[in-house]
Amino acid sequence: MKFLVLGLCLFALLAIPNAVPFIVPASAQQTATVLPAQQLQQIEATIQDWLTTTKAPALSVAIVTDNQLRYAKGFGISDLENRIPATAKTAYRLASITKSLTATAIMQLVEKGKIDLDAPIQKYCPAFPEKQWAITVRHLLTHQSGIRHHQFDEVLSTKHYNDITSALNTFKDSQLLHEPGAKYSYTTLGYVVLGCVIEGASGMKYADYLRDNIFKPAGMSDTRVDDVYAIIAYRARGYRKTSANEIENAPLLDTSGRLPGGGLVSTVEDLAKFAIAVQSGILVKKETLAQMLTRPKTKDGKDQDYALGWLVADLPDGKLLRNDGSQAGTRTFLLLRPNQGYAIALMTNLERARCEELAPKIHDIIQPVK
């Protein structure tokens, strides 16, 4: 579909060449599909080509059409040392797609009158100190707050935080990078503050609020906090490439300090359920979703692609929204087309392996250009 390819090109998707993957026979897979046999054969051949090219140990895929889960399957090996096949139930680090769930939670509280997007964040999160300029909830959602991103030594932090307030202590006293609203400046730490906002506005812990108001309504039974100490069923091991283009274990990372911005574990099936719930009006009203997908402007009048928790492209046949995640041992991608009731979720346990390259190829098999 040319409009889908155009939308993805707006986000400059790049290929990464590599070598041969571990392939698991179809008999070892957990799969649910109602796609026509010819489409299924083409899709799986395309996926196998990607695995061969990238050398990714595992990839899990889910496809939604007409707001129904039509296909969910895993390929390759989720744990190379123990030779465990990947399935649709394999749990990967969600990384920055977590931000879309956090933004949805914020907008639920806006609908309930518990959050004003243009109120200073200290109204809901007094633990974050006032700065030389006022920061609003909207600034945080759109990455216009001026709050810094991770510093180099924080990217692979193994320090564990028991709550969001403790995580705030690592950056709350840092100077703002710029006046809020002046420009776009991506920041996972700004979304950590949004977790504090959710807790202050709802009176619930962030994880508890998501469990009751996002996971349960959407039917997401396999999404949870990425707790490095917890036993998580079907959790994938994470990998990365060496300079010699070989696979090795990913470095250690504790994501508790970035929970609302990248600290969940999920599956492609659950991401598909989230997409369906978003597009069907289960989590937020249709008019609220439209507000979330309205691309904001900076103070100099420039449009930006990142709206309220989603990267958005305005295409002739409707909105294309997506988010992706990159973290130690994972790469994730979620794309939605609300007007079409279409979504695709892709998750791999090889960091920096651009699984999103598959999205337009799979879509063109399902809905070929006429």
Secondary structure (DSSP) of 203-221: SS-HHHHHIIIIIHHHT-T
Report in angstroms the alpha-carbon separations of 239 from 112, 155, 328: 42, 16, 8
Domains of the chain listed by start with CATH number:
2-99+206-366 (3.40.710.10)
Task: Please compute the mean of the pLDDT values over residues 40-67 and round it to a whole number.
Answer: 97
Instruction: Look at residue 31 in the predicted model and tell me its pLDDT.
Output: 55
Q: What 8-state DSSP symbol labels residue 178?
A: S
Angle among Cα 78, 83, 89 to the nearest 5 degrees reads 35
**274 or 4, higher pLDDT:** 274
Task: Please compute the mean of the pLDDT values over residues 91-100 and round it to a whole number.
Answer: 98
Task: Please compute the mean of the pLDDT values over residues 314-328 and round it to a whole number.
Answer: 96
Q: Which of the four pLDDT bands, split at 50, 70 and 90, describes residue 190?
A: very high
Q: What is the pLDDT of residues 245-265, one digit of tens each?
A: 999 999 999 999 999 999 999
Q: What 8-state DSSP symbol labels residue 315?
A: E
Whether the pLDDT of residue 93 is over 90: the answer is yes
Instruction: Look at residue 299 in the predicted model and tell me its pLDDT.
Output: 86
How many residues appear in the chain?
370
Q: Is the pTM of this model over 0.85?
A: yes
Angle among Cα 80, 82, 87 to the nearest 5 degrees reads 70
Whether the pLDDT of residue 9 is over 60: the answer is no
Can you point out the beta strands (E) in the chain?
Answer: 32-33, 58-65, 68-79, 84-85, 92-93, 224-225, 239-241, 247-249, 264-266, 311-315, 318-327, 330-337, 342-348
Q: What 8-state DSSP symbol labels residue 306?
A: B
